[in-house]
Amino acid sequence: MDAKTDRKEREAAPADEARAEPRSDQHRPDEEKPVEGKRSDDKQAQDTQANDDPSDRSKPGLLRRHPYVAAIVAILILLVIAAVVIWWTNARHYEWTDDAFIDARTVTIGAEIAGRITDVAVTDNQPVEAGAVLLRIDDSDYQASLKQAEAGVMAAQAEIANVQAQTQAQDAKIDAAGKQVAQAQAAFEFARSEDQRNRELLAKGTATQQQAQQAASTLRQDQAALDAANANAEAAKSQIAVLQAQGKSAQAKLRQAEASEDQAKTTLARTMITAPVAGHATNITAAKGTYAQPGQVLMMFVPNDVWVKANFKETQLDLMRPGQPVDIAIDAYPEKTFHGHIDSIQAGSGTAFSLLPAENATGNFVKVVQRVPVKIVFDQPPGIYLGPGMSVVPTVKVR
């Protein structure tokens, strides 16, 4: 007999006894005690039954009492699972790294000549345009050198002009010598004819010996004059070669003087240092009145043209190609997202080009995932202040 049947029989027994006995207003104490004892036993039986089988009442009752809570919990679990699946599916299309920085080709501004600094035209972190004056060096000595070089050029030009004038005069002398040769040649021809006629007349007896000798003497004189004219003409022509040599020497001196002038102009221009491109002047160490030496660094210059140098792990480069779009998050501007694309991927890891590259052939080898620098350029100028070393988080869409 189970507990439920026993409880029902115990509850029914007092009721039957009550119907069997006649009612009476007087009750004895000894008759009430057994009834109270039976009721106590019934209560203990009920508690025992509840403790023996709690699952039959609690489990079905929880779902029935809180159906909406159970539904909400189930929906939340499904949403979490769906979010994880969507995130994983979407994350496969992107590669990102926090080992990325703004990079630029910074310019070292230094003195190329020696001199005292007379003016520093910029201050720290000042934006400047290309060609703007950064500082000036005393140019008095270099102005004097330029004037001296210009004087040398003028002297060389004057010497060339002198040689040209002498050449023209010599050409005139050559022409005169040629005319003298022609005159002497004519006189010589006439004297030779006269000598020939006098010889013939002397042979016939129609001319005297004196006439014949006179004609012969004239012929010899004219011959000598012709020879002198020819020699003078040759001497005049040979002087042209001398003048031509002097002209070449003067031309060489002119080129040398012009080179000295150009050098003086270049040196003078170096007394004024200008910005090579648009950017910012930083780390200025120059001061007015200090003496600058050639090669001395006076300030640093950061161009406006900057890009992102992202050091991706080599395991992230499988699908990465130049031209892929990149979303750029800059730590200094967390509320903005900039867009760019991959420009190039370095042909080698970063450690391969370091000052002391790793040599895995020596000592114990431990494999370490290497990082490869990737150059990322902005699609549009950022329009904000960016400097080398600023932290960036690029996200590359590789699929």
pLDDT at position 61:
58
CA dihedral sign, ordered 216, 221, 222, 223 = positive
Whether the pLDDT of residue 108 is over 80: the answer is yes
Q: What local confidence, expressed as pLDDT, does residue 1 receive?
A: 43
How would you classify the pairing of strands 307-313 and 133-137? unpaired
Q: Which amino acid type is present at position 339? A: H
- Given a contact cutoff of 8 angstroms between Cβ atoms, the answer to whether 116 and 327 are in contact is no
Residue 85 or residue 313, greater confidence: 313
Report pLDDT for 298: 92
Between 173 and 285, the higher pLDDT residue: 285
Q: Which of 158-172, 246-260, 282-296, 318-332 has the lowest mean pLDDT?
A: 158-172
* pLDDT confidence of residue 361: 75
Residue 313, number of CB atoms within 10 A of its CB: 13
Q: What is the mean pLDDT of the chain?
A: 80
91/340: higher pLDDT? 340
CB 326, CB 342: distance < 8 Å? yes
- What percent of the chain is modeled with pLDDT above 70? 80
- Give the mean pLDDT of 270-299: 91
pLDDT(353) > 90:
no
Cβ distance 122 to 284 under 8 Å? yes
CA distance 315 to 349: 12
| Per-residue pLDDT tens digits for 20-48 | 444 444 444 444 444 444 454 555 545 54
Q: Quick check: 50 pLDDT over 60?
A: no
pLDDT tops 60 at residue 13: no
Report pLDDT for 10: 54
Residue 311: pLDDT above 90? Answer: yes
Provide the β-strand partners of residue 312.
372
Question: What does the pLDDT read at residue 207?
Answer: 65
In 3D space, the residue among 158, 156, 160, 179 whose CA is nearest the CA of residue 243 turns out to be: 160
For residue 199, name the pLDDT band (cuts at 50, 70, 90). Answer: confident
Residue with tokens 């600094």: 117
